[in-house]
Amino acid sequence: MSDLGTVAVGQSGGPTAVINASLAGVIETARAAGSQVLGLRYGIQGALNDDVIDLTNVDTDALADTASAALGSIRYKVQPAEYDRIVYAFQERGIKTFIYIGGNDSMDTADQLARVAVQRGLPLQVLGVPKTIDNDLPFTDHCPGYPSAARYVAMVVRDVGLDARAMRRVYFLEIMGRHAGWLAAASRLARDEDGAAPHLIMLPEHDWDEDRFISGVDHALKLFGHCIVAVAEGFELPEGSANLGIVDAFGHVRLGGIGRHLAEFTQQRLGLSSTPNSDILGYIQRAASFARSSIDVAEARQAGREAVTAAQAGKSGYMVTLQRRSSAPYSINYGLQPLDTIANVTRALDDHFIVRDRYDVADAFMGYIAPIAGPLVKPYRLY
């Protein structure tokens, strides 16, 4: 068994409903191994600023039930010269194990740290724990955080759909998803019968087709008397992605506004008396604790445990993965994947889950998403 030394753990990127469950898994497993556990405040900046919290005696059960990122999170691109500062700061504190909980950019940071440690001959093991509601990390069936966000999206689309049905309205819901449509696709869970929302699901993986879009909305209005469109924020119109003109540290454009664009376009094309309503679901979809998936909580916690176990086995430079064995009954295995194959790679929605001749998601997707998001209450309809 490898000497863990002091274990440092950080959280990075957008918070989720279960990121603290992963943190709890790390703490309890490292504690059982006799290690001190230090939490980096605000991700990797905690290492650069020597801003840490002793986590050895925290209540891990209470922590696992808490939404968002308890340590504080950050989107920070580490500069090349800062990697040496980080690994030597770890050495000063006796940190021999570092576990980073995050998404694509966080796995890149972890990968670079692991490389620097090897190059400098330092006794530092680096492991990644996946976390992203976008579900866009490769080599893992799904990412902790995604099932809960998917459940939230489905619940919102279901309830907004019932509202639009009662009021006979067209409604656009803009859902997170820059390059991959996993979260917008999850709205398909809300469609419990023919005619139920969502009527159109528009993904970044879909191409724009004006006639297909308008005919889809018009068909739903004529047949069902209302129409709900679930659209990913990264869906592109011919003139390019709708965006707010703001770029983050990694060069990503902050998106927003595609739902409003489509609503205005729909009014013009169909001659509606007013512009249809549109809402951006916003940050609440990331970490809504009331929509948390119980499977997501359990898997996130176990993923944290698996990272520490891998470090005990002498592993470094890997991310924990979830590998599905079966959907019915649902079961998974945990594995490891080299960080250098994951960093900065985006996994788009699997092609066989996408309907190409209309804006929709294939029935096969239900077999993927339903077991991890959990069942929804089926609405009772009088007509």
Please give the C-alpha separations between residue 58 and each of 20, 119, 251, in angstroms, as whole numbers. Answer: 12, 35, 36
Whether 134 is a known active-site residue: answer yes
> Are 40 and 130 contacting, i.e. CB atoms less than 8 angstroms apart?
no
- Helix locations, the chain, DSSP H: 19-32, 45-48, 60-64, 80-92, 104-120, 146-167, 182-185, 210-224, 258-270, 284-287, 294-312, 364-373
* Crossing angle for the helix pair 294-312 and 19-32, to the nearest 10 degrees: 40
Separation between Cα atoms, residue 213 and residue 270, nearest integer Å: 11
Give 127's contacts (C-beta < 8 A, 6+ positions apart).
Answer: 97, 98, 99, 100, 110, 307, 308, 310, 311, 315, 316, 318, 319, 320
The residue among 127, 72, 130, 83 whose CA lies nearest residue 104 is: 130
Could you say which of 134, 136, 296, 360 is catalytic?
A: 134
Strand partners, 174: 231, 280
Alpha-carbon dihedral of residues 32, 310, 322, 127, nearest 10 degrees? 100
> Are 87 and 99 contacting, i.e. CB atoms less than 8 angstroms apart?
no
Separation between Cα atoms, residue 190 and residue 76, nearest integer Å: 36
How many alpha carbons lie under 13 Å from residue 113 in its C-beta half-sphere? 33
Give catalytic residues, as residue numbers.
134
